[in-house]
Amino acid sequence: NAMDLLPVDLLPMVWGWIYGAAGHDPAHAYLRVVPTADLSITMGLSVGVLITCLVYNVKIKGLGGWIHELFAAPFGNHWALYPFNFAMQIIEFVAKTVSHGMRLFGNMYAGELIFMLIALLAFGGFGLLWVLQVVLTSGWSIFHILVVTLQAFIFMLLTVVYLGLAHIDLDRH
């Protein structure tokens, strides 16, 4: 996320120089500056958090204890409730993983998209729209600096919460 704090053309310009020095056409050099504005990156990060949580579940509770928790929580330890408990656990794992990745992606992608929409104001054909563009870009840049750092903090905080939940043994608490 912190790469979004650099000037917008700095890294693509440097990449164009490197791409051109390697013998390629610099006009075809492509670099996405903010990797978290790509859904595959954020979902990969959240799947990594899911795998880490599953590993910690097994490490803390043991394989048998974790499997028991899959079937005994949240509704209770009765054989008739096992299918419902298991379904709820799977829904929880999927929902946490998808929402964790989508939250970061959505905020970062929307920030880039708003910058692009503000940049298109100059093409409206009216003489003073560039003044509005400068004002909006300045305001959004200040706000976006807060969003970038806040989203990184929220992703990290949710990761710590999910790992903390993996350490809790529901049978003992």
Q: Which residues are catalytic?
A: 99, 103, 107
Q: Which residue has the tokens 């998209």?
A: 113
Spatial CB neighbours of 33, under 8 Å, sequence gap ≥ 6: 3, 4, 6, 8, 11, 12
Distance between CA atoms of 87 and 57, rounded to whole angstroms?
Answer: 18
Backbone angles phi, psi at 23, to 5 degrees: 95, 5
